[in-house]
Amino acid sequence: MDIIALAVTFALAFFTSLAITPLVIKLAFKLNFVDHPGQRRVHQKATPRLGGLGIFIAFLAGLSYALTQIELPLGILAGALIIVVTGLLDDRFSIRPIQKLFGQSIAAVFVLIDGPIINTLTVPFSDSAIVISPYIAVPIAFIWILGITNAVNLIDGLDGLAGGVSLIAALSIFTMAIMTGNMAVAFMVIALAGGLLGFLFFNFHPAKIFMGDSGSLLLGYLLAVFSVISFKQVTFVTLIIPIIILAVPIVDTMIAIIRRKLNNKRIMEADKHHLHHKLLAMGFSHRATVLFIYMIAAFFGIAAVLFYTSGLLGSTIIFLFCLLMTELMIEKLQLINTKYRPVLATLNRVRAATVTGERNR
């Protein structure tokens, strides 16, 4: 029975994560995979950063049972291994960004060897479909995988943040996989969720271990792949669902790029103006900041499911509401700069005009 098999897959990954992470912590100190406090660091003491290895081992443990139920795509697993190795090299030796990008590109190629992720596109408001040329589908899928991989890497700034947001996204993708009958994705993503949940027992504030780039890159890579392989035939609705599910890392990354361009800084230049930095600056505690962003991620996860199950009018309303909430968050938290407030300024003008009108009556 699929439910029992899925539960066993989740449990194997979860308990493996609980068992292996303490051993990984000891190994990290022994091999000097340690993150020391610094100017851009929030933590105050040396902390091991080999958590990605533990997550990967737990993920494979869950998949060991899933292999008895389904046929798993080897390209995805091969790519995951390359991503983990790339992350480990960066965690230990701080390799250059171009070297990390090369490893991510090789991993993406392994996924795409099996064929384009997107085959056809259904024309909105009609039953006709357009066959998408591999010359278009492959570059789009390639950019998506690299983009989400690095987006999750960028939000890994607080204890439990990237892990929790990724867990919520994984559960959202799992729900969508069940609804669309894609059991291969369901088994893979529930194995990842089990490994993540076990890891969060050690990673939530105050963290005993960080996931490091080996973890954040792995999560971004797997979520990027899982979020779209359910939809070989893409419709107007399903094209948007992965974007909604992964809205937190996507928005944070896009805003960071815009902010740095406006401030004449390099795109890859780090700063302390990400979503979690702004919440901390507003007086939120470490845990409160992480939990608040969890709520935002859960909001988008639920919105994605409702978006899929709603009709055209309902999905349009949900999408516009998500856009409005995102814009208000960007302006309220001043994620771009203090002057960018188009919607809030308009609302203030409307409010002022309403008050003036009432006084003149």
Query: CA–CA separation, 84 vs 123, rounded Å?
Result: 38
pLDDT given for residue 230 in this prediction: 64
The continuous run of DSSP H or E covering 121 comes out as strand 120-122
DSSP SS3 for 282 = coil
193-to-176, 182, 336, 357 alpha-carbon distances in Å? 14, 16, 32, 54
What predicted TM-score, i.e. pTM, was given to this entire model?
A: 0.91
pLDDT given for residue 132 in this prediction: 73
As a whole number, mean pLDDT of residues 182-207 equals 95
Structure tokens at 352: 């002022």
pLDDT given for residue 220 in this prediction: 95
Q: Which residues pair with 240 in a beta bridge?
A: none
pLDDT given for residue 260 in this prediction: 83
- The alpha carbon of residue 159 and the mean position of all alpha carbons in its chain are separated, in whole angstroms, by 15
pLDDT given for residue 320 in this prediction: 92
Roughly how many angstroms between the first and final C-alpha of the chain, as a whole number?
Answer: 70
Residue ranges of the binding site = 153, 213
Q: What are phi and psi of 345, to 5 degrees?
A: -65, -40
Q: What are phi and psi of 120, to 5 degrees?
A: -135, 155
Write the CB contacts of 70 (distance below 8 Å, at least 6 apart in sequence).
Answer: 183, 184, 187
pLDDT given for residue 1 in this prediction: 55
Q: Range with the lowest mean pLDDT among 47-56, 193-202, 344-353?
A: 344-353
Banded model confidence at residue 323, pLDDT cuts 50, 70, 90: very high
Share of the chain above pLDDT 70, in %: 88
Residue ranges of the binding site for Mg(2+) = 153, 213
The continuous run of DSSP H or E covering 234 comes out as strand 233-234
pLDDT given for residue 72 in this prediction: 79
Residue identified by tokens 């893409």 is 234
> What is the CB neighbour count within 10 angstroms for residue 125?
8
pLDDT given for residue 298 in this prediction: 96
Q: Where are the domains of the chain?
A: 2-360
Flag whether pLDDT at 258 surpasses 70: yes
